Amino acid sequence: MASRTSKQAVVYILDASPSMNEPYKNAGNDSTSNKETNKQTKLEAAKEAITGLVTELMLESKTNECSIIVLNTEKTNHHLHSDDDKEVQDALDEDDDYEIMFPKITELCPIIRPNLDLLRDLQKVSVVANERDSLDEDESRQGGFCDGILLAASSMRKKTAGKKFARKIILFTDAERQVDIHFDLLDDAIEDLRDMNCTMTVIGLDFERSAEFDEAAAIEAGEQNEDQQEGGDPKHRRDSDDTTVEEGETNIEQDQEDTNTNDIDMDERPDSPSDEQVRAERVKDDNEMFLISFTKYTGGEVHAASDIQQMLTESMGKRLTKSTLNKIEFHIAPGIAVNARMSIATSRQNVPSLKKHAVSFDAEGNSIRNMFGEIIGEPIVQDTSHWDVDKEDIEVFLIDRADAYAYGSDLIPIGKLDLEGLKQRSPPKVSIIGYVSTSRIPISAWIGPMRLLSGPGAKAGTAISALAQALEKTNQFAIVRYIKQTDADPEMGILSPYTPKSDDDEEESKSKPKYLSYTKIPFADDVESLLMLPLVNDISGEKGQKACDELIDAFMLPDDALVSSKIPNPAIRTFRKTMIKRALDRDFKGIVGGRDEIDEGCDVISTPQNILKKGKDACERFRRAFPLEVVEQTTKKGRAKKKFLLSDSQNSI
Q: At 533, is the secondary structure helix, strand, or coil?
A: coil
Q: What are phi and psi of 58, to 5 degrees?
A: -70, -40
Contact, 175 vs 207, CB < 8 A? Answer: yes
Question: pLDDT tens digits for 549-558?
Answer: 999 999 999 8
How does residue 37 score in pLDDT terms, banded at 50, 70 and 90? very low
Q: How many CA atoms lie within 13 A of 219 on its CB side?
A: 17
Buried b vs exposed e over 282-305: b needs ≥16 C-beta within 10 Å?
bbbbbbbbbbbbbbbbbbbbbbbb
Which ranges constitute the DSSP H helices of 239-377? 252-268, 273-298, 308-316
Question: Does pLDDT of 353 surpass 80?
Answer: yes
**Structural domains for the chain:** 8-316 (3.40.50.410), 348-422 (4.10.970)
Tell me the pLDDT of the chain averaged across its residues: 79
pLDDT value for 432? 97
Q: What are phi and psi of 527, to 5 degrees?
A: -90, 125
Average pLDDT, stretch 383-387?
90
Which ranges constitute the DSSP H helices of 40-164? 42-60, 86-94, 116-123, 145-160
Contact, 83 vs 77, CB < 8 A? Answer: yes
DSSP 535: -
Strand partners, 413: 404
Q: How far is residue 191's CA from residue 179's CA, in Å, rounded to a whole number? A: 22
Contact, 6 vs 322, CB < 8 A? Answer: yes
Question: Does pLDDT of 11 surpass 70?
Answer: yes
pLDDT value for 31? 38
Mean pLDDT comparison of 349-363, 408-422, 618-632, highest-scoring range: 408-422
Q: At 573, is the secondary structure helix, strand, or coil?
A: helix
Question: pLDDT tens digits for 289-317?
Answer: 999 999 999 999 998 877 666 667 666 65
Question: Does pLDDT of 332 surpass 60?
Answer: yes
Helix (H) or strand (E) holding 613: helix 609-614
Q: At 630, is the secondary structure helix, strand, or coil?
A: strand
pLDDT value for 319? 52
Q: Of 110, 194, 102, which is closest to residue 149 (Cα–Cα)?
A: 102
Contact, 140 vs 133, CB < 8 A? Answer: yes
Higher pLDDT, 627 or 65: 65
Contact, 247 vs 286, CB < 8 A? Answer: no
Helix (H) or strand (E) holding 596: none
Q: At 112, is the secondary structure helix, strand, or coil?
A: strand
**Angle at the Cα of 255 (from 254 to 259), degrees rounded to 5?**
120
How does residue 480 score in pLDDT terms, banded at 50, 70 and 90? very high
Q: What are phi and psi of 260, to 5 degrees?
A: -65, -40
Mean pLDDT comparison of 37-46, 212-221, 477-486, 606-615, highest-scoring range: 477-486
Contact, 514 vs 460, CB < 8 A? Answer: no
What is the amino acid identity at position 63?
Answer: T
Strand partners, 515: 498
What is the amino acid identity at position 359?
Answer: V
Higher pLDDT, 144 or 594: 144
How does residue 630 score in pLDDT terms, banded at 50, 70 and 90? low
CB atoms within 10 A of CB 383: 4
CB atoms within 10 A of CB 115: 16
Question: Does pLDDT of 648 surpass 80?
Answer: no
Question: Does pLDDT of 225 surpass 60?
Answer: no
How does residue 578 score in pLDDT terms, banded at 50, 70 and 90? confident
Q: Of 188, 280, 47, 375, which is closest to residue 288 (Cα–Cα)?
A: 280
pLDDT value for 100? 77
Question: pLDDT tens digits for 260-289?
Answer: 444 444 444 444 556 788 888 899 999 999
> Comparing 2-11, 272-281, 320-329, 376-385, which segment has the lowest mean pLDDT?
320-329
What is the amino acid identity at position 290?
Answer: F
Q: How far is residue 559's CA from residue 284's CA, in Å, rounded to a whole number? A: 32
Contact, 50 vs 68, CB < 8 A? Answer: yes
How does residue 649 score in pLDDT terms, banded at 50, 70 and 90? very low
How does residue 470 score in pLDDT terms, banded at 50, 70 and 90? very high
Q: How far is residue 297's CA from residue 192's CA, in Å, rounded to a whole number? A: 11
Percent share of the chain, pLDDT over 90:
34
How does residue 345 score in pLDDT terms, banded at 50, 70 and 90? confident
Question: pLDDT tens digits for 73-97?
Answer: 988 898 887 766 666 666 655 665 5
Question: pLDDT tens digits for 581-615?
Answer: 888 888 888 888 765 555 544 677 888 888 999 89
> Comparing 261-270, 454-463, 493-502, 516-525, which segment has the lowest mean pLDDT?
261-270
DSSP 637: T
Q: At what angle do helices 145-160 and 183-195 cross, to 10 degrees?
A: 40
Q: What are phi and psi of 628, to 5 degrees?
A: -90, 145
> Comparing 46-50, 195-199, 446-450, 461-465, which segment has the lowest mean pLDDT?
446-450
pLDDT value for 92? 57
Q: How far is residue 69's CA from residue 609's CA, in Å, rounded to a whole number? A: 41
Q: How many residues does the chain have?
A: 653
Helix (H) or strand (E) holding 589: none
Q: How far is residue 173's CA from residue 42's CA, in Å, rounded to a whole number? A: 9
Buried b vs exposed e over 622-640: b needs ≥16 C-beta within 10 Å?
beebeeeeeeeeeeeeeee
Helix (H) or strand (E) holding 451: strand 451-454
Question: Does pLDDT of 10 surpass 70?
Answer: yes
Q: How far is residue 430's CA from residue 427's CA, in Å, rounded to a whole number? A: 10
Q: What are phi and psi of 503, to 5 degrees?
A: -70, -20
Contact, 603 vs 31, CB < 8 A? Answer: yes
What is the amino acid identity at position 547?
Answer: A
Q: Which residues contact 613 (CB under 8 A, 6 or more apart)?
A: none
On the 0-12 / 13-18 / 19+ scale of CB atoms within 10 A, 140 is: buried
Strand partners, 342: 453
Q: What are phi and psi of 176, to 5 degrees?
A: -100, 0
How does residue 467 score in pLDDT terms, banded at 50, 70 and 90? very high
